[in-house]
Amino acid sequence: MLPTDIDLLRIMGRPTLSGDGRLAAVSVTAPDLAADANATELWVAATDGSAPARRLTKGPFDGAPAFSPDGRWLAFLRPLPGGGPAQVHLLPMDGGDPFPVTDLPLGAGRPVWSPDSSRLAYTARVPEPGRYLPGVPPGRERPRRITDLRYMADGQGFTFDRPRHVFVTDPFASLPFTRIPGAVQVTSGSFDHDEVSWSPDGTLLTFVSGRHDTHADDLRRDVWVCAPDGRGLRPLTHGGLEMSCPLFSPDGTVVVFAAETLTEDNRAVGASSYGLWSVPADGSAEPVRLTDPEPYHLSFSSLMIQPARDGVYFANDWHGEVHLILVPYDGGEAKPVITGRRQVNGFAVAESADGVTVAAVMSSADSAGDLMVLHEGVERELTSFGADLRARANLRPVQEFAAYAPDGYELQGWLVRPAGPGPHPVLLQIKGGPYTQWGYTLNGPASFEEAQVYAAAGYAVVLGNPRGTSGYGQAHGRWAADDLAFKTAPDLLALLDAALQEPDLDSRRVGVQGGSFGGYMSAWLAAHHGERFRAAMGERGCYAIDSHFGSADDGVNNSIALYGADPKRWSEISPITYVDQIEIPMMFIQSEEDRHTPMEQAQRMFVALKMRGVPVEMLLFPGEGHDMSRTGLPSHRVARYEAILGWWSRYMTEEDDRAAL
């Protein structure tokens, strides 16, 4: 797979099913190298396979499709003509052009239909008076007065002065669609509200929000319900949780949601499993957890649940796979629905007289995702993007292997070899998180995409899940929490050593690289185990915990959750402390708009190494955030690959005399 082959990667969003389960629609995003943009279109398919999947809209910025329950309409997001933020549009399924039903200054969020197909709910950011005015450049705005800890977010910029609120609109109020209808703003105040959904009878809305006094200083969010006009607003939970995905059960008696537990002061707990919870819709009891935190963790690759008649569908991380399981409402034993060496990246469920239909976006080690339908135990693939990729990109096989940490603990790893005979130079690729997992997918932050590019360039790539990752139980995830760097390094080196037992891998030519937490560990290994590597590359990493604590979008929570609450110890586990031990060449990749691991983290490392005369480079990407390597401009993604490959070509030659480097 070449860097320019990213244009073969089709990334699908969450699918939607018509009420009878006969049609599935999904957004499909692909890098457009010629236009240097990421284009998103909507596709539709008959779930019985009677007709091939077809493109429904031409994009280029269409997303978040949602069928009306009666199947007559498809709501989705698209900018208005002339550009601007995304607005809700409607497409009549019996023919006709889409038309807008919102025109909000900062755009609208994912549309959600009422059960009777008469109204739409969504969230939208509402700017403070005088903020974010059309035609007023940011540099001309008045200064911002900041009094809270949580005032910005990566990929969004400042958030405190434009809280997200719930809206409800009747999209048919202006028949015959001569104007954009008005909307009711359901919530108010300085609080963010998100992930709205309807009760089965359409009399209530539920959503998550932190509306307590310290909402802008901690992670607590609660489940709320109110009438569609905002009356009767009341909480169903009362702290201690950070949550998402609130949805009513089909009978309307409970609200289920996904959540992780927080500390007593509502801050994050490192490697805390994101579980399934339930709370009575009338508020008569406290929430209960339905899933055991040890084997079950909601996958961040989908981050969604869906209640149904017999239980709640839940996407679960498991040993590099993401399974779809059905969890009973009483919290009993979960039933497997979709398993295997693949990942469920999004799904929808429809129950009708014809049975249960599940539409799922499935990715694997050689696919970024295809739309699949499961009906009465029979699977059917509705799209063939993965086959197109395999036919054109010359993907290399992925070999799974086992490694053993110094204490005998078994670890799961993968090896992607280049074509031809060895000995091959080796790259140890470290993932971000840390509470995520490498796995069977070419889509997402911990996929095999990069390994395929490096293997095509002649490198054997070693990937693995040390303790601290998700997918192996909470004990596995929390094992390293009290000493993250020192405990993770031996596991990573054990994975590397196990791979190097392969006879066609060259143990004399090894490099280490990674992004986010992987960047942190790459710098750590360069400082503490530099004799093992020819060179290192760190991308969007945290290298100085003390400054990350104050400069990152959620630095307070992340720093304490990952590295402990004692600032005096942060220096012991910060790579910047050991920068004078780094003797191997090191490259840093950083996005200028990254607010999750701000640019100053890489700058500090670059300056310190430069002053010591260590070969060092820093590659800065303008206008990009933390996820540039996955969602950035296609030209930036290709330039990143070219820079990385150029870096390794300099330091992974046959010559073993490091003094000559």
Q: Do 466 and 611 reside in the same domain of the chain?
A: yes
**Cis, bond preceding 176 (omega within 30 deg of 0):** yes
Q: 232-288: per-residue pLDDT in tens?
A: 999 999 999 999 999 999 999 999 999 999 999 999 998 889 999 999 999 999 999
pLDDT at 59 over 90: no
556 in the same domain as 433: yes
In this structure, are residues 174 and 180 in contact, taking their beta carbons and an 8 Å threshold?
Answer: yes
Q: Domain for residue 291, yes or no?
A: yes
- Regarding whether 400 and 305 lie in a shared domain, the answer is no
What residues make up the domain containing 89? 11-132+149-309
- Does 358 fall in a domain? no
Look at strands 424-430 and 505-515 and give their pairing.
parallel
Output the domain CATH number for residue 295.
Answer: 2.120.10.30
Lookup result for tokens 């699949």: 372
8 Å CB contact between 23 and 15: no
pLDDT reported for residue 271:
87
Distance in angstroms (rounded) separating the CA atoms of residues 201 and 251 = 9
Q: Which of 280, 309, 338 is the last residue of a domain?
A: 309
Query: In this structure, are 304 and 402 located in the same domain?
Result: no
Domain assignment of residue 440, yes or no:
yes
Do 273 and 413 share a domain, yes or no?
Answer: no
**Pair (485, 621) in one structural domain:** yes
pLDDT (tens digit per residue) in 441-500: 999 888 999 999 999 999 999 999 999 999 999 999 999 988 999 999 999 999 999 999
Number of structural domains (the chain) is: 2
Mean pLDDT of the chain: 95
Give the separation between CA 145 and CA 548, rounded to whole angstroms.
Answer: 21
Q: Tell me what percent of the residues of the chain surpass a pLDDT of 90.
A: 91
- What's the Cα-to-Cα distance from 32 to each of 175, 442, 632, 633, rounded to whole Å? 37, 18, 11, 9
Domain-located, residue 16: yes
60-114 pLDDT tens trace: 999 999 999 999 999 999 999 988 999 999 999 999 999 999 999 999 999 999 9
Position 609 in a domain: yes
- Among residues 290, 309, 328, which one ends one of the domains? 309
Q: Which of 272, 291, 309 is the last residue of a domain?
A: 309
pLDDT tier at 661 (50, 70, 90 boundaries)? very low
Residue 656 lies in a domain: yes
pLDDT of 304 above 90: yes
Output the pLDDT for position 658.
44
Side-chain half-sphere exposure of 109, counting CA atoms within 13 A: 19
Assess whether 285 and 427 both reside in one domain: no
Residue 391 is assigned to a structural domain of this protein: no
**619 closest CA partner among 578, 597, 647, 649:** 647
List pLDDT tens digits, range 125-156: 999 998 998 888 888 889 999 999 999 999 99
pLDDT digits (tens, 9 = 90+) for 411-428: 999 999 999 998 999 999
pLDDT at 135: 85
Task: State whether 305 and 419 are in the same domain.
Answer: no
**Predicted TM-score (pTM) of this structure:** 0.95
| Same domain membership, residue 403 and residue 258 | no
Which residues, including other chains, have CB under 8 Å from residue 121's CB and lie 6 or more apart? 111, 112, 114, 166, 167, 168, 186, 196, 197, 198, 205, 228
**454 and 556 assigned to the same domain:** yes
281 and 402 share one domain: no
The domain that holds 638 is classified in CATH as 3.40.50.1820
Same-domain pairing of 479 and 618: yes
Residue 608 is assigned to a structural domain of this protein? yes
Q: Measured between alpha carbons, how far is 517 from 67 in angstroms, rounded to an integer?
A: 38
